[in-house]
Structure 1
């Protein structure tokens, strides 16, 4: 009974179908495959789709859905599988039978020259896979011994049984004279076509993801060369920070310049380092699912990756860590210098406050002196004025003018002192009230 009464999440069907996306090819020995990977960016999605449609139209094949990330089509003599990834698109051709000349690259002729010339990106990898049949595991060992040095470089060849010895794989991860990577796959007995398709697909993915991961190696080497100068400049600034006579502001400006250069460099390379780590993990995962077993003393694909591929990835990881380390050191140095500047500023502020306290004390003593002189001066003039004003009263009372003036001194001085004190208190109250009103 369908659950039509409840609203469905809009992505429910798409997410369920995602688990079944990118189906594996179905291959029976003898057969062959050829694959190319073309770089792309997020802005060129429509261009790559148009490029695919141009190839399909040439062979009269059906178009994919508008938002499809993968598509398979029968081109007549060959079968095409197209996949779109975040950084590249792959075009893989499958055909029955094998050529008399091993790895002659004839399948690539199905990609027209003008179509290749119009590719909206550069070629990243090109891979040839030859699938043969062997009646038994002993026949596989004999065949690998026969063609191992004929088809591949003897010092780099890797070979192993895979998937419970249902097949064997051979390769050397070296470019041939036409700059293709070669793999040979030997089907043991009646191994199923689906399983053989998965093996071939895994080999193509291993080489493609390996190539994408290795794109970071030149960047890592450039990081090491450029970070040497930054490291030297940073070490010099840190040494100079211990010199009290150095200008802290100049040192801070230099640190900011170093930090800015490191951050810009990190922003330019962070995505590539992250991508390399992701592609490296995919390579190892693809090798692991093959479940290799030793074949006639040859090195395994996993051993090849450990000896040849993993050192390159360690270089990339080391460059990423060194970039992060210099960034952290520059940040710590900036913090230390900022602390030093703050401490120096606090010391200068303390000295300024001490000077202000000294000046305030001097001003207070000067103010008290001025107030005392003001009381004396005002009292002097007040006594004289009152003495003259009240002179008739002194004659009426028969009091000497000198004694009468002397009697006026203390009351006048006291009254003047009270008046000056009141004026000062009012001024202090207004000064205290001013900050509160402004706040």
Structure 2
């Protein structure tokens, strides 16, 4: 290659071919199991694949997500790795069914937990399928039958018989490759249906808790509206606790509900591709799926919608309460400023009084000093009498001291105002 290849290109191409299903021979038995596997169990799964019966070498690497291999007996094994599950399938033609018990034992010991296990019996036509009907032991009241794309016919009661679901399919002339696609879609429809339904028990579990949280939020909202003198801090603590519980429910259910939605969409797509045609007297695959799957999915969607709506309402109530708390704090600050302003006025009047008294005291001492000077001068020669000079000096001294104090006070106030204006201008400059 002379061009630069994107590092993800080949992985994307492999992804497009991951789910190829091999040709299905007629007749045959197909055993398939879907296991929900934790990440810690993946290494054990790899060891199980190394111990596959019949000497099959899966030869998988760390990046492998789909592997198939054929044994000498003609049995075909398929392994698929999904995000949270693995699917393992054994296609057993008549010549490979002698060792079926060994193969099934190996599959039944897979790590994880089975979410779906099925046995499909494939026959050439409806007459041959009818001969196998008795051994299927279907529950007649639950029996589903319909024609699928390509003319194949399906029978199943979708119950569990000895741990497995049972399905009977008549190929009715469908070529092996087309039959493989039909079988794959039928199986994927059931697999994704079961995976989607995993979210339903979770919704049933958390539904009562969500209802209780809704009632609590309604009570808090009523308290906020009708009790303006309530303890806002205590109410805020209660609302915060409710929001924390809602967040925990979202964490516990978020992934599962998202997966439920995705699996349900895939199941609907597979059902559409099967081109189901109804047979009089039997419910079809479409009837069964819509009757059982859709109500559960609608319930999950409703729960998810309620959870999101409740979270938004809780945030709204908290925002209103915060607004009320802020308003009260501002009112308290306003009252405090008013009280401080009144105190400052009183302090200013007291200061003026003290200034007046200070002037009198300063005048007294200043006149006393002048009296000493005048008396000293009088002792040196004739002139005005000392008492007269002291009396005349009192009023000029008072005026001089008064204007001096006033001048100093005005000067201090002007200096403080200039300092405040300069700081405000600097703050405005920083904001710009």
Normalised to the residue count of structure 1, the TM-score between the two structures is 0.87
Distance 1:413 1:154 in 2: 122
1:71 corresponds to: 67
Q: How much has 1:5 moved relative to structure 2?
A: 2.9
Q: How much has 1:388 moved relative to structure 2?
A: 2.2
Structure-2 change in CA distance of 1:354 and 1:364 (3 Å): same
Q: How much has 1:389 moved relative to structure 2?
A: 1.4
Distance 2:349 2:272 in 1: 90
Cα pair 1:38 1:123 within 8 Å, conserved: yes
Cα pair 1:144 1:170 within 8 Å, conserved: no
Q: Secondary structure, in 3 states, of the residue corresponding to 1:388? A: helix
1:343 corresponds to: 327
> How many aligned residue pairs are there?
420
Q: Secondary structure, in 3 states, of the residue corresponding to 1:217? A: helix
Distance 1:220 1:281 in 2: 18
Q: Which of the residues 24, 49, 52 maps onto 2:49?
A: 52
1:27-38 mapped onto 2 (5 Å cutoff): 27-38=24-35
Structure-2 change in CA distance of 1:122 and 1:60 (3 Å): same
Which residues of structure 2 form unaligned runs of 5+? 428-432
Q: Does 1:167 align with 2:149?
A: no
Cα pair 1:35 1:93 within 8 Å, conserved: yes
Of Structure 1 and Structure 2, the greater helix share is in: 2
Q: Which moved more, 1:75-84 or 1:266-275?
A: 75-84
1:399 corresponds to: 384
Q: Deviations over 1:9-65 (max 9, x none)?
A: 22222222321222112013212201011111234333322222222xx32112333
2:307 corresponds to: 323
2:141 corresponds to: 155
Q: Does 1:94 align with 2:87?
A: no
Structure-2 change in CA distance of 1:212 and 1:238 (3 Å): same
Structure-2 change in CA distance of 1:156 and 1:387 (3 Å): same
Over aligned residues, Cα RMSD in angstroms?
3.0
2:399 corresponds to: 414
Q: Secondary structure, in 3 states, of the residue corresponding to 1:71? A: strand
2:179 corresponds to: 196
Q: How much has 1:147 moved relative to structure 2?
A: 4.5
1:260-409 mapped onto 2 (5 Å cutoff): 260-393=244-377, 396=381, 398-409=383-394
Cα pair 2:136 2:166 within 8 Å, conserved: no
Q: How much has 1:339 moved relative to structure 2?
A: 1.0
Q: Which moved more, 1:20-29 or 1:247-256?
A: 20-29
1:127 corresponds to: 118
Cα pair 2:123 2:129 within 8 Å, conserved: no
2:39 corresponds to: 42
2:430 corresponds to: none
Q: Which moved more, 1:89-98 or 1:351-360?
A: 89-98
1:230 corresponds to: 213
Q: Secondary structure, in 3 states, of the residue corresponding to 1:204? A: helix
Which residues of structure 1 form unaligned runs of 5+? none
Q: Secondary structure, in 3 states, of the residue corresponding to 1:405? A: helix
Q: Secondary structure, in 3 states, of the residue corresponding to 1:111? A: helix
Distance 2:295 2:184 in 1: 25
1:17 corresponds to: 14
